[in-house]
Structure 1
Amino acid sequence: MEDYLEAIYILFQKQGYARCVDVAEYLGVTKPSVSRAVKELSKAKYLRKDSNSILSLTSSGEQVAATIYERHRFFMERLIEAGVDPKTAETDACRMEHGISAEAFEKLKYSVERQGEEVK
């Protein structure tokens, strides 16, 4: 479900809206898969679908999606900096973003930020 929230968040950032067909295309999944996810995420109060089939994140959905996206970008940037091919970094960052605890991520991010300050 986190992948769907992140996809909607990214699509909204890029094009100002997200529809089920956009999410399916972005994630490379079927429209019925997106419909099921939208139903579950709507039930959980993470998103809404208006009469024009435009998806929008609720405040709690946006908060979760922004957190996931922050983790994704963090891991992807670190992997690319380490010399990992961007396509592989994208795939691995997606795996890593979901498997790390909030505490571990915050400590890792803080550690990297501190190292960056020492380099300057």
Structure 2
Amino acid sequence: MALQESGEMYLETIYVLSKTHTNVRSVDIGEELGYSRPSVSRAMHLLKDEGLVKIDEYGFVKLTEAGTILAKRIYERHTVLTKLFVDLGVDEKIATEDACRIEHYISDESFEAIKIHMAKHCDTN
């Protein structure tokens, strides 16, 4: 399933927030991304229709199994690319911003090659 960049950003944000919040609400997602309530509400319904999130009777948003798989994939890309750029000497803020843009467009083949290269040549700390 091919999501647009914004859908991937929502999934990644829900995943990251769920690591520190017992319950994730749409308002938390909107605050994190800087999006309006109507935008977040529409996105949550689209992601729900795609079977990537569940919204309970209290309005708490949870990733489904499929949503979790995609979110972890996106988050891994973000963290690996950020580390690569920082290791190359890029300022951390810029590295994070660039990784955030690239993570949505890099091919699986290129990303796997980067991970293999980093495992062989980069400090894993």
**Shorter-chain TM-score: what band?**
over 0.9
Q: Root-mean-square deviation (CA), in Å?
A: 1.2
Which has more helix, going by share of residues? Answer: 1
**TM-score, normalising length from structure 2?**
0.89
Structure 1 segments, 4+ long, off by >2 Å, are: none
Counterpart selection for 2:24 from 12, 18, 41: 18
Question: Which residue in 2 is equivalent to 1:97?
Answer: 103
- Code of the residue aligned with 1:61 in structure 2: it is G
Counterpart selection for 2:59 from 53, 61, 64: 53
Share of identical aligned residues, percent? 40
How far, CA to CA, are the matches of 1:79 and 1:108 in structure 2? 11
Deviation at 1:83, TM superposition (A): 2.0
* Conserved 8 A contact 2:25-2:59: yes
Deviation at 1:114, TM superposition (A): 1.6
Q: Which ranges in structure 1 are unaligned for 5 or more consecutive residues?
A: none
Deviation at 1:21, TM superposition (A): 0.3
Question: Which residue in 2 is equivalent to 1:8?
Answer: 14
- TM-superposition CA deviations, 1:65-119 (whole Å, max 9, x none): 00000000001111122222222111111001001011211121112112238xx
Deviation at 1:17, TM superposition (A): 2.1
Q: How does 1:99-118 map to 2 (within 5 A)?
A: 99-116=105-122
- Code of the residue aligned with 2:27 in structure 1: it is V
